Amino acid sequence: MDVQEMLSGLTERLRAWWPVPGIAISVVDRTGESAFVTAGFANAESGAPVSRRTRFEIGSISKTFTACLLGILADEGKVDLDAAVADHLPWFAPNSGSRAITVRHLLQHTSGLVAGADALPDAAARGYALRDARTWAEPGELFHYSNEGYNLLGLIVEQVTGESLADAMAGRLLRPLGMRNSAARITHEDIAELATGYRFLRDDRPPLPSAPLAPSGFFEYSAADGNVLATASDLGRFARLLLGRGILDGSRIIEPERFREIVTASGDAVSSGYALGVDVESIDGCTWLTHAGGMVGYRSYLAADTDGGHGVAVLTNAPGECQIIDRFARHVLAVVQGAPADPSLFDPERIPDARRYVGTHGTTPRRIRVEATGNDRLSLTSDGATGRLYDTGDGRLVCDHPRWSAYHHSLDGRWHYGPESLGPGPAAPTAPPHVLAGHYRSYTPWYPSFSIVQRAGRLHMIAATGVEAPCDEPELVPLDDGTYRIGADPRLPERLTSGPALNGAALWVDLDGCRYTRSFREPPAD
The pLDDT score that the predictor gives to residue 366 is 86
Please, which residues have CB within 8 angstroms of residue 516's CB and are 6 or more apart in sequence?
440, 441, 442, 449, 450, 508, 509, 510
Q: Could you give the 3-state DSSP secondary structure of residue 184?
A: coil
Supply the pTM of this predicted model: 0.95
Class of domain 3-58+187-220+228-339: alpha beta
Say which DSSP state 313 is in: E
HSE, side-chain direction, 13 A CA sphere, residue 382: 25
The pLDDT score that the predictor gives to residue 428 is 63
Class of domain 438-518: mainly beta
Quick check: bond before 365 cis, omega within 30?
yes
Q: What is the DSSP string of 360-426?
A: EEEETTEEEEEEE-STT-EEEEETTEEEEEEE-SSS-EEE--TTS-SS-EEEESEEEETTEEE-SSP
What whole-number distance in Å separates Cα of residue 102 and Cα of residue 100?
A: 6
Q: Which helix (H) or strand (E) holds 475?
A: strand 475-478
Tens of pLDDT, residues 390-441: 999 888 999 999 999 999 999 998 999 999 999 887 666 667 889 999 999 9
Across the beta sheet with 22-29, the strand order is 48-49, 32-43, 22-29, 310-316, 298-305, 286-295, 279-283, 273-274
What whole-number distance in Å separates Cα of residue 475 and Cα of residue 461?
A: 6
What whole-number distance in Å separates Cα of residue 96 and Cα of residue 92?
A: 9
Tens of pLDDT, residues 295-342: 999 999 999 999 999 999 999 999 999 999 999 999 999 999 999 999
Please, which residues have CB within 8 angstroms of residue 338's CB and are 6 or more apart in sequence?
none
The pLDDT score that the predictor gives to residue 429 is 64
Pick from 31, 22, 109, 100: which is nearest to 66 by CA? Answer: 109
Tens of pLDDT, residues 452-494: 999 999 999 999 999 999 989 999 999 999 999 999 999 999 9
Torsion angle of C-alpha atoms 302, 306, 310, 314, degrees rounded to 10: 0
Roughly what angle, to the nearest 10 degrees, separates helices 62-75 and 147-161? 40
Tens of pLDDT, residues 199-255: 999 999 999 999 999 999 999 999 999 999 999 999 999 999 999 999 999 999 999
Neighbours of 473 (CB within 10 A): 19
Of the pLDDT bands very low, low, confident and very high (cuts 50, 70, 90), residue 269 is: very low
